[in-house]
Amino acid sequence: MLEPLTHSISELHGDHLIWWQELRSWQEELKSFERRLAAVARPGADPDVLARLEQYQNRLIREQEVIDESQHLIKTHEDSLARKTEELPHVAAEAGYRDHSILRERMTVAEELHKELRDELRDWLAQRFRMDVDQMGGPPEN
C-alpha cells in the first residue's frame, strides 16, 4: 500500500538539511574519538586494551561508511526533488509527495547506533583515563 502524498518538497528538503547537519556532526565526533583512541594506543599498552581499541577503531570505520552511504542517499533524493522542481516548478511547489520513509527509517536506526557507540566509547575512554591516573599515583594534590 502506498503512503499518502502529504509532504511538500520544502518539508522533504528540510529533512535532508537536518539529516545532513546531523551526519556532519557525527563526522566531527568520529574525528575526536579517533584522536582520543590514538592517545590510548601508546607503546607498552596492555594487549587487552589494544584489542579493545582495535575493535573501536573498526567500529569507527564502519560508522564513517554508514555516514558516507547516508549522505549519498540524501544527495540522490535531493537531486530527484530538484529535478522535479526544475521540470514543473508550479506543480512541484503545490504537489504532495510521499514521505521518504526508507531514508527516514535508515536515519533513525543510524542515530540509535551512533548514540550507542558514542556512549560506549565515552565510557570506555573515561575508564581508561581513570585507570591511567590511578597508575600514576592519582591526581596531583594541592
Assess if residue 112 is contained within a domain: yes
Query: Angle 124-130-131 (CA atoms, 0-180°, nearest 5)?
Result: 90
In a domain, 4, yes or no: no
The phi and psi torsions of 139 (rounded to 5 degrees) equal -70, 155
96 found inside a domain: yes
Query: Is 93 among the domain residues?
Result: yes
- Look at residue 2 and tell me if it is in a domain: no
Q: Is residue 142 assigned to a domain?
A: no
Other beta carbons within 10 Å of 39: 12
Asked, for residue 16, whether it belongs to a domain, the answer is yes
Contacts of 56 (CB under 8 A, 6+ apart): 33, 37, 121, 124
95 DSSP 8-state letter: -
Nearest-angstrom CA–CA distance, 139 and 107: 42
Written as tens digits, the pLDDT of the chain (142 aa) is 455 557 888 889 999 999 999 999 999 999 999 999 998 888 888 889 999 999 999 999 999 999 999 999 999 999 988 888 888 777 666 767 777 889 999 999 999 999 999 999 999 999 987 765 555 555 445 4
* Domains identified in the chain, total number: 1
Structural domain containing residue 58:
9-133
CA 127 to chain centre: 23
Cα maximum dimension of the chain: 72
Question: Is 98 among the domain residues?
Answer: yes
